[in-house]
Amino acid sequence: IGLSTTIAGVKFPGCFMNAAGALCVTRDELLALGRSKAGAIVTKSMTMEPRHGNPEPRYYGFPGGSINSMGLPNLGYRAYADLIPELKRCGKPVIASVAGLCEDDFPTIAEAINAAQPDLIEVNLSCPNIPGKPQIGYDAEASERLLKRVRRVITVPMGVKLPPYFDPAHHDAMGKVIGRCDVDFLNLINSVGNGLVVDPEREAVVIKPKGGFGGLGGTLIKPVALANVRAFYKIFQGRIPIIGTGGIVDGVDAFEHFLCGASAVQIGTVLVEEGLEVFGRLETELAALLEKKGYRAIEDCRGKLKEL
């Protein structure tokens, strides 16, 4: 069984890759991804200037998932632009994740990183905009403005990493925005925002930033991730490729994402918890499952979710 896949014309030797943020901030981490069985190298979302990020503890894993408020720790876009040629020599696609602390950061970062010619650029819309306003991904007008500005300076395939939506009206509104901005792929979903995990022993929160509030990942968000993959797959009738992210811990979880319409998948929590060997385990599990079900490739089951 081949687990290779193609997104926006770019061939991926494997369908599993890291989610932006998981083990991908430093040069050593990115090169280790390049040596691993990961099907691609995805950078941490990058900002104008290097950032230490938030005070620790800022990530906490627990049975069922994780919570994080990392605060965008990254080397700054210039360092990643310098690293991209070396990363591309690892023989797998390099996806540069672009962020920013506000809308105006994005075009500058996008133009500079595009010059380094990563294989794909992923625009992270979970970033903040004006204080007091929701994250960009929850503001359709700001999303459209930003995507049109960065589309003009990006010549490689451009994707959008979206936060989870919980109302069909939001899927439809964002579907219209995406349809008007010449987007080459979607990545669904980012962490489920502003959750809160409590330690009843210590009667305390488990992460230091934001009074313990943070983005949720892992098994517990899988139904939310699958719903968003399915909703946008249906809106675009499978014509915009989707990277499925959220709740993938075993091969069967990846299969569920493919049934809902994903063409490739990303892992975050399970990668942080288990380490780089997890790629081999997931490939073995998925290949065995596809074999057992009689599928010869991911394309044979993509979007084939049955309704009752």
218 binds ligand YRO (CB under 6 A): no
In contact, 8 and 157? CB cutoff 8 Å: yes
Give me the least distance between CB of 72 and ligand YRO, in Å please: 4
Give me the least distance between CB of 6 and ligand YRO, in Å please: 25
129 binds ligand YRO (CB under 6 A): no
Give me the least distance between CB of 1 and ligand YRO, in Å please: 31
124 binds ligand YRO (CB under 6 A): yes
Q: Which of 24, 127, 181, 260 is catalytic?
A: 127
Give me the least distance between CB of 71 and ligand YRO, in Å please: 5
Stretch that binds ligand YRO, among 62-70, 79-87, 109-117, 230-238 (CB under 6 A): 62-70
Phi, psi of 189 (to 5 degrees): -130, 165
Q: Measuring CA to CA, which residue among 28, 29, 34, 37 is closest to residue 3?
A: 37
CB atoms within 10 A of CB 303: 18
* Segments of 63-170 assigned E as strands: 65-68, 94-98, 120-124, 158-162
Q: Measuring CA to CA, which residue among 209, 155, 218 is closest to residue 182?
A: 155
The count of residues interacting with ligand YRO (CB under 6 A) is 15
CA–CA separation, 23 and 275 (whole Å): 9
Based on the residue annotation, tell me whether 90 is a catalytic residue of this protein.
no
43 binds ligand YRO (CB under 6 A): no
127 binds ligand YRO (CB under 6 A): yes
Q: Kindly identify the residues of this chain, within the stretch 272-301, that bind ligand YRO according to CB under 6 A.
A: none
CA–CA separation, 121 and 106 (whole Å): 12
In contact, 60 and 197? CB cutoff 8 Å: yes
Instruction: By CB under 6 A, name the one of 79, 108, 128, 149 that touches ligand YRO.
Output: 128
Q: Which residues are CB-contacts of 156 (< 8 A; sequence separation ≥ 6)?
A: 114, 117, 118, 119, 120, 121
68 binds ligand YRO (CB under 6 A): yes
∠ CA 174-148-237, nearest 5°, is 40
Q: Kindly identify the residues of this chain, within the stretch 150-189, that bind ligand YRO according to CB under 6 A.
A: none
Q: Report CA dihedral (198, 203, 209, 210) to the nearest 10 degrees.
A: 70
Place of tokens 């929850």: 138
Helical packing angle, 251-260 and 278-293, nearest 10°: 60
64 binds ligand YRO (CB under 6 A): no
Q: Which is nearer to ligand YRO, 5 or 191 (CB)?
A: 191
Q: Which is nearer to ligand YRO, 5 or 45 (CB)?
A: 45
18 binds ligand YRO (CB under 6 A): no
137 binds ligand YRO (CB under 6 A): no
Give me the least distance between CB of 124 and ligand YRO, in Å please: 5
CA–CA separation, 193 and 164 (whole Å): 8
Instruction: By CB under 6 A, name the one of 18, 190, 228, 245 that touches ligand YRO.
Output: 190
Give me the least distance between CB of 74 and ligand YRO, in Å please: 8
In the stretch 91-120, what mask flags binding to ligand YRO with x, by CB under 6 A?
--------x---------------------
Q: Interface residues with ligand YRO (CB under 6 A)?
A: 21, 45, 68-72, 99, 124, 126-128, 190-191, 215
Q: Which residues are catalytic?
A: 127
